[in-house]
Amino acid sequence: MTSLRDLEDCFEGVIPSIIATAAADGTPNISYLSHVVMVDDEHVGISNQFFAKTAANIRANPQASLLLVSARHGGQFRLDLSWVSSRDEGALFDRMSGQLRASSAQVGMAGVMRLRAIEFFRVDAISAVASPFDEADAGAGPPMPDLMALGRAIKAIGAQGDTGAVIGAVLDGCAALGFANAILLLADGSRRLLTTVASRGYDRSGVGSQVPFGDGLIGTAATSKQTVKVSDMSRVRRLGAAIEATTSADENRTRTIVLPGLPDALSQMAIPLLAQGAVRGVLFVESRQRLAFGLAHETALEALAGQCALALGELPAPEMRATAQASAPAQPAGRVIQVVHHHFDDSVFIDNAYVIKGVAGRLLAFMLEVYVREGRCDFTNREIRLAPALRLPEIKDNLETRLLLLRRRLDEKNLPVRLVHPGRGQVRLALDGVPMVSKAG
């Protein structure tokens, strides 16, 4: 006997479902549906966006028929339904609304395809529609996540002692679970931005690229605190200017670091990093395969993301020295490193190449200016935290994450200025030349 849980592929939104209703006088009506979800073993929820006639019919005549189609093997299933209620709030409404916002933004209809309500139906019967197609020829779905690999990844994340090691363990875990393309973004709650701190499986890391809260799958996952998934990108465009930008974007002109991505991705999923109700970031994965991520993959990544959020929140405070330790800098011969710091957005250019902007840009400019003025390469987190020129927020801010971001960005650009991490709560400038720092408006 077929159950709703056997129809998981039908609820992925790849092939539209069809609902048939009848008015009180028996006049039939058919509508296509963008979202159908399984509520529990006996109920389904249908998104109510535009179907005024369907909504009127089910209130006059609560019986309906629903046609579901498996996106994996094309099998069709008829569900006999009885309307139960309509709801415009609650956890399921919030999740479906967030999913709809993200999907509609991808086709240029943000704010248009608004979820009005969810219509809840009891499933009275399920029957397979006869088809000449042999479902056995369709092949199996993606391999299930390896629970042993998941367990090892969770243990590895919990064993790390600093932000960089936690992030590395998360991406290692993604790879071990079969997620070859993954991006980890950490949240800046005060600015409502998510910043890429690491990625795996791309030609460029995109470290430093940013996504605003609420923008696309990634931003929607942060604002809704819910996993957001698209199983067939051929139905929608990639969302967000950062994602849509090409690798040929001129960073020096736009001062925008491009988010990495697969131009031919068919499946995408964004999972919020939640700890005690706070969003610490978003884990994003994608695949060139349609229907690459099922419920088991979603559950596995949510476990990984949750462990990451807890580990980041429980890292011990850095052991910071009270004063900066003077050090004799290396004196490379001959080379002059041209550094320009633009005050209006705190962007920094090194040898005419755009590096980074914002708080991370101020941090880099501060350390380089200290080097030029005092000949000092070593700094402590405490010194940086207390420096008035940096104008760091008074609220708790993850300075270690910003320094990690800056260090990786400099490494990626292969510049003559790098940051190294000699010990907890310490950072050191490594220079392949003598910096000449100038300021611009």
The residue-averaged pLDDT of 113-122 equals: 86
Above 80 in pLDDT, residue 76? yes
- Across the chain, which distance is largest between two alpha carbons, in Å? 92
Short-list 309, 278, 313, 298, CA closest to 154: 309
Cβ proximity of 368 and 437 under 8 Å: yes
More confident residue, 288 or 335: 288
CA distances 441 to 250, 251, 346, 371, 385, Å, are: 21, 19, 9, 22, 25
Cβ proximity of 361 and 346 under 8 Å: yes
Q: Which two tokens stand for residue 189?
A: 């709650």
The residue-averaged pLDDT of 267-282 equals: 93
Above 50 in pLDDT, residue 142? yes
Please provide residue 157's backbone torsions phi and psi, each rounded to the nearest 5 degrees.
-65, -45
Above 50 in pLDDT, residue 91? yes
Above 80 in pLDDT, residue 434? yes
Strands 434-440 and 336-342 come out as parallel
Average pLDDT over all residues of the chain: 84
Above 90 in pLDDT, residue 271? yes
pTM, entire model = 0.74
Q: 235: pLDDT confidence band, cut at 50, 70 and 90?
A: low
Contacts of 421 (CB under 8 A, 6+ apart): 164, 407, 427, 428
Instruction: Give percent of the chain with pLDDT exceeding 70.
Output: 85
pLDDT value at residue 215: 86
pLDDT value at residue 329: 47
pLDDT value at residue 241: 37
pLDDT value at residue 135: 53
The residue-averaged pLDDT of 337-354 equals: 93
Determine which helix (DSSP H) or strand (DSSP E) holds 117, and give its type and residue range. Answer: strand 117-129
pLDDT tens figures, 1-58: 788 988 888 888 778 899 999 999 999 999 988 789 999 999 999 988 777 899 899 9
DSSP for 182-234 reads EEEEEEETTTTEEEEEEEESSSS--TT-EEETTSHHHHHHHHH-S-EEES-GG
- Report the half-sphere exposure of 154 (CA within 13 A, side-chain side): 15
pLDDT tens figures, 245-259: 444 557 776 678 889
**Least confident stretch, 126-130, 148-152, 237-241, 315-319:** 237-241
CA dihedral (34, 39, 42, 43) in degrees, to 10, reads -50
pLDDT value at residue 108: 52
pLDDT value at residue 114: 73
pLDDT value at residue 151: 95
